Amino acid sequence: MLLLDYRHGTGHGVGHFLNVHEGPQGIGMRVVYNDTALKKGMTVSNEPGYYADGRFGIRIESIVIVREVPTRYTFGDKGSYLGFEHVTLSPIHTRLVDVSLMSPAEVDWLNEYHKEVWEKVSPGLKAVGDERAEKWLERQCKPVGSRAV
């Protein structure tokens, strides 16, 4: 496993009135992000990536909402743990993914994400009769890796 740092924040608050980077919340190494904990209902970007100086860069960007998530255990009197609900429901282009470099958990995450995209987006395409878009989405959401069902 390579432990590479992509030298930018993983996410930031998302605002309204065209204010793309709205804080104070954020996810990253900036000290200011330590001042405000993520709270249920906050909207943030989720944009991991990697850049090789002078060679290439890649980033996956999406928008998520902070939600309470069901877990087997809670955190004492603090209540439930927090997780993210996807707002951006767009498939990740798997031709750009080398599954052989991914852990089983990462492959499972990608396949579960694509399952969610298919289940939430395809009914709208079917409702408007856009068969071409529906077939495209089905191809893009096809499971990858040896753990594909």
100-133 per-position pLDDT tens digit: 989 999 999 999 999 999 999 999 999 999 999 9
State which of 88, 115, 131 marks the end of a domain: 88
State which of 72, 88, 104 marks the end of a domain: 88
Q: Give the count of beta carbons closer than 10 Å to the beta carbon of residue 1.
A: 5
Residue 58 has a pLDDT of 84
Same structural domain, 71 and 20 = yes
Asked if residue 87 lies in contact with residue 62, where contact means CB atoms within 8 angstroms, the answer is yes
Same structural domain, 39 and 77 = yes
Residue 83 has a pLDDT of 93
Same structural domain, 67 and 117 = no
Q: Cα separation of 70 and 31, whole Å?
A: 30
Same structural domain, 105 and 84 = no
Asked if residue 40 lies in contact with residue 67, where contact means CB atoms within 8 angstroms, the answer is yes
146: left (phi over 0), alpha (psi -120 to 50) or beta: alpha
Residue closest to 11 by CA, chosen among 24, 141, 2, 137: 24
pLDDT over 80 (residue 147): no
Q: Structurally, how many domains does the chain consist of?
A: 2
Same structural domain, 73 and 104 = no
How many helices (DSSP H) and strands (DSSP E) are in the chain?
Answer: 2, 7
**Which class for 95: exposed (0-12), middle (13-18), buried (19 or more C-beta within 10 A)?**
exposed
Same structural domain, 67 and 107 = no
Q: What is the mean pLDDT of residues 69-92?
A: 87
pLDDT over 80 (residue 2): no
Asked if residue 99 lies in contact with residue 123, where contact means CB atoms within 8 angstroms, the answer is no
* pLDDT class of 51 with cuts at 50, 70, 90: confident
Q: What is the mean pLDDT of residues 40-47?
A: 91
Torsion from C-alpha of 97, 136, 91, 18, nearest 10 degrees:
130
Same structural domain, 8 and 40 = yes
Same structural domain, 80 and 144 = no
* pLDDT class of 94 with cuts at 50, 70, 90: very high
Same structural domain, 70 and 126 = no
Q: What is the mean pLDDT of residues 84-111?
A: 94
Same structural domain, 114 and 131 = yes
More confident residue, 148 or 11: 11
Print the domain residue range for 70.
1-88
Same structural domain, 76 and 138 = no
pTM over 0.85: no
* pLDDT class of 76 with cuts at 50, 70, 90: confident
State which of 59, 88, 117 marks the end of a domain: 88
Q: Using a pLDDT cut of 70, give the percent of the chain over it.
A: 93
Q: Cα separation of 24 and 32, whole Å?
A: 8
Same structural domain, 1 and 46 = yes
